[in-house]
Amino acid sequence: MRSEKHADDRTQKSVKAAQSSNYYCSQCGTKALRTNGQLLSAMPARSTGARVVDEGTALEGELLLEPLEGAQPALIKREKGTERQYRLACRSCAAVIAYRSVPQPTAGMFLYVDPAAVRETPPTQQEMLEQRLRRQQQQAEA
Ligand SMILES: [Zn+2]
């Protein structure tokens, strides 16, 4: 499980993607998104603190989030009117991690990520165990 074992792989990958950064759900440790080396903390922020992420260029691989079920979009009152937020949640624990102002990824539009909802540390063994149990439960319910 420790990444040191794959030091050679890592060296080769690091040539292509300078240092892609993984972000995990801060609640349960499930992988949420991966950037192409840019740090969320280095991306521009909205006045609300959400990081502005260009899905077309800043992310690597697919976004590992799911649209939140229930009332979509969320309507947030702002000084200049009402803002629509199509919320994306952790696949495992349904914590809201990000949102878009449109239902689908769209060129010229952005993904907004709550920096408090993600962390850079991978899941602990306990969290991996809980994830597995949750998945088994979901499969049993399906
Ligand atoms: Zn989660």
Ligand 1 mean position to 42 CA, how many Å? 23
**Tokens for 98?**
């990000």
pLDDT at 34 > cutoff 70: yes
**Percentage of the chain exceeding pLDDT 70:** 87
Which residues place a Cβ less than 5 A from the ion ligand 1? Answer: 25, 27-28, 30, 90, 92-93, 95
The domains of the chain, with CATH numbers, are 18-141 (2.170.150)
List, in sequence order, every beta strand (DSSP E) within the chain. Answer: 21-25, 31-35, 51-53, 65-67, 74-78, 81-90, 96-100, 111-113, 118-119
pLDDT band at 8 (very low <50, low <70, confident <90, very high): low
Ligand 1 mean position to 29 CA, how many Å? 6
Ligand 1 mean position to 100 CA, how many Å? 18
Name every residue whose Cβ is closer than 8 Å to that of residue 54 and which is 6 or more positions away in sequence: 110, 111
Are the C-beta atoms of 21 and 120 separated by less than 8 Å?
A: yes
Spell out the SS3 assignment of 81-118.
EEEEEEEEEECCCCCEEEEECCCCCCCCCCEEECHHHE
pTM of the model: 0.80
Mean pLDDT lowest for which of 40-44, 45-49, 132-136?
Answer: 132-136
Spatial CA neighbour of 41 closest among 122, 123, 114: 114
Ligand 1 mean position to 68 CA, how many Å? 12
**Tokens for 10?**
């890592």
Mean pLDDT lowest for which of 8-12, 48-52, 86-90, 93-97?
Answer: 8-12
Ligand 1 mean position to 80 CA, how many Å? 32
Ligand 1 mean position to 79 CA, how many Å? 31
Give the model's pLDDT for residue 111.
96
